[in-house]
Chains A and B, each alone.
Chain A
Amino acid sequence: MSAFWLYVFTLIFFLFDYFILAMGLNIQYGETGILNFAYIGFVAIGAYMTGAVSMPNSVGTGQHYILGLNMPFPFNLLVGGLSAMVVSVLVAFIALRRLRTDYLAMVLISLSLVFYDICNNYVPLFNGADGLYNVPSPLAGVLHLTTNSFTVVFALLTGVISLIMWWIMSRITRSPLGRTLRAIRDDDGVAAALGKSVFRYKLTSMMIGSFFAGIGGGLIIQFNTSFNPSAWLPGETFVVFAVIIVGGVSNNIGLLVGSLLVETMLVHLVAFLPAIPGHPGLILNIAAMMIGALLMVMLWFRPQGIVPEKLRRSPAAVAAATTSTDYAGIDEGVSHE
């Protein structure tokens, strides 16, 4: 297979993986209104845990890490997702109960910086600054895959997983749970007045979003077969925010479009451009600045994103409007941003 196709499948992998990550952050930010500036930390937990449980015992590998259980494919990924979820519960109990949006964002960004610092310095946990490497490729042994065919198979597998996650997420957002989350986003005082426990719903939203983050992270470490602190600088959270805001908050198709434009085009396509002679890394710096600028331009001119959130009508309001002559019911049943 030519290098070109390998490259295309790498882009496809990141398209679907960031789609999963965007869905996870969207339920927190887009649906519930939690400004989770620590999101990339949950992605990292998922990645490290997936790696650590699927690798052999660390004795003799030249690396230092916890666990080392030789766990096979779908289970290691689930461990990654669930670990991120467990951590999110701890975080929610400390920070989510009484803090206002911006204080919460401050605490969360501090959390991600501290977690970064610990992973970078404390070698016995996840091998410090070197990170985990030589992570086993899932299914490679069973299907007799080479490095090249693994890229293709795993990119397609990620596509299938992202479709399953998409189905799960659209079930959640259409359910009464999803409606309550949006009510909290629009005005948490009103939601509380209607008897909804705002904290419990925010906790649920954090848990679901973090599970998605963990799965997305677990897929990254298995695709790259390595993961280290330089892959998840706290600024990476911003890329996921850019995916959501450019594509369309609270619209899953929008998230896929955002993933294509921001992650695939601006992050990974430019990473393969030849470096400007004498200025290594300059292209990546320019691309990052472009992502920041693009997001500000979008927020100003089209804050709803390329594919805006759909107006959702409650079945009750539609029924009321069609059976009576009073059409006011339709407007009242519509929730818009």
Chain B
Amino acid sequence: MSVTQFWLSFGFGLSTASVLAVAAVGLSLQFGVTNYINFAYGDFMALGAFVSYALNNEILHLDIWVAMIGGSLFMGVVAVILNRLLLSPFARRFSKTFYVLIVTFGLSLIMLNLLSAIWGDNVRFYNMKIERVIKVGPMLLTKNQLIVMALSVVLMLGVHTMLKTTRLGKSMRAMSDNSTLAMTSGIDTKRITTITWFLSGTMAGLAGTVLGITEGNLTPAAGELFLFVIFAAVIVGGVGSIYGAMAGAVIIGLATEVSAAFINPAYKLDTAFVILILTLLFRPNGVLARTGKA
């Protein structure tokens, strides 16, 4: 592989890592606070992406970046409603996590079929201008990829600031460490959970839309197929750790795109799975692990 080729795929890797970081942090935030994995997260992404598509192409005909904000916020509200009506009652009633995991798995089936009932299984495209390629150092990137990267960096800094400095962020970290203790210390855990679901849903919607923008197309199943890449990033980074999720996203994002230069690009996402297996075998708690979670 030539040096040029390496830098080309490295640029794509940064773009994938940006999308992945948003998705992985959204999943980790919610996992940390509620302590169960949301298996419908991929479909949250797809729903956000399709609402953005509707705002962009079907009604209002907004600019894609404005539509993206609409789709993300919509998904945030849907996530809050789903938590209130469906997930949190199951989580409270059954002490074993089995039940709520199966409910999220079922929710994923319902949402996937709902999307394909409304929009059909055909590949859709956002209505956006064809961008010329910009040279950044040795890398070639489109303007859209650069916007997505900037967006992701800003969002990560925002999440970092929120977790470390605000009362909300500190409450979320407290709940993530020990939710009973947090409750007895006077933290309104119900309110924090609601806000967390809103943030998680919004980030899922955002990640779904930017995935559609960077990939250039969207299908109802796209989120679900991307789910294992998110899981890989989250596990490689160390489950439950927000910074781990960010680190995992960079590792997995770069690894998948750079490997595409060596192997058939059709299998590039499977590289994520290989890294996941290696992590499980040699460093099962992840690269930036907190002790005692796995």
Contacts and interface: CB of A to CB of B under 8 A. Distances in A.
A235 B112 contact: yes
A111 interface: yes
A174 interface: no
Interface string B94-121: 1001110111011111101110110001
Contacts of B99: 299, 303
A238 B111 CA distance: 13
11 contacts: A35-B98, A102-B37, A103-B294, A110-B276, A282-B117, A285-B113, A285-B117, A288-B109, A299-B99, A299-B102, A300-B93
Interface stretch (B148-156, B205-213, B228-236): B228-236
B220 to A, nearest CB: 10
Contact of A289 (B86, B113, B121): B113
Nearest to B220: A285
Contact of A105 (B93, B101, B113, B264): B101
Interface in B199-257: 221, 224-225, 227-228, 231-232, 234-235, 239
Contacts of A234: 224
B235 A106 contact: yes
A121 B264 CA distance: 10
B294 to A, nearest CB: 6
Which 4 A/B pairs are nearest by Cβ-Cβ distance? Answer: A110-B228, A292-B110, A285-B117, A285-B113
Nearest to A106: B231
A232 to B, nearest CB: 14
B29 to A, nearest CB: 16
A113 B121 CA distance: 18
Query: For the side of the interface on B, what is the size category?
Result: 35 or more
A118 interface: yes
A111 B274 CA distance: 10
Contacts of B90: 299-300
B224 A105 contact: no
B280 interface: yes
Contacts of A292: 106-107, 109-110, 113
B39 A103 contact: no
A293 B106 CA distance: 8
Nearest to A101: B97
Interface in A287-312: 288-289, 291-293, 295-296, 299-300, 303
A164 interface: no
B280 A95 contact: yes
A289 B102 contact: no
A245 B239 CA distance: 29
Nearest to A283: B117
Contact of B97 (A37, A102, A241, A296): A102
Contact of B109 (A100, A111, A289): A289
A238 B37 contact: no
Interface stretch (B55-63, B132-140, B179-187, B265-273): B265-273
B169 interface: no
A114 B228 contact: yes
A256 B11 CA distance: 54
Contact of A102 (B36, B86, B108): B36
Contact of A110 (B109, B232, B264): B232
B270 A114 contact: yes
Contact of B37 (A106, A279, A281): A106
Contacts of A291: 109
Nearest to A112: B228
A105 B110 contact: no
Nearest to B117: A285
A157 interface: no
Given A106-B235, A234-B224, A100 B105 contact: no
B168 interface: no
Given A99-B294, A100-B294, A235-B112, A35 B101 contact: yes
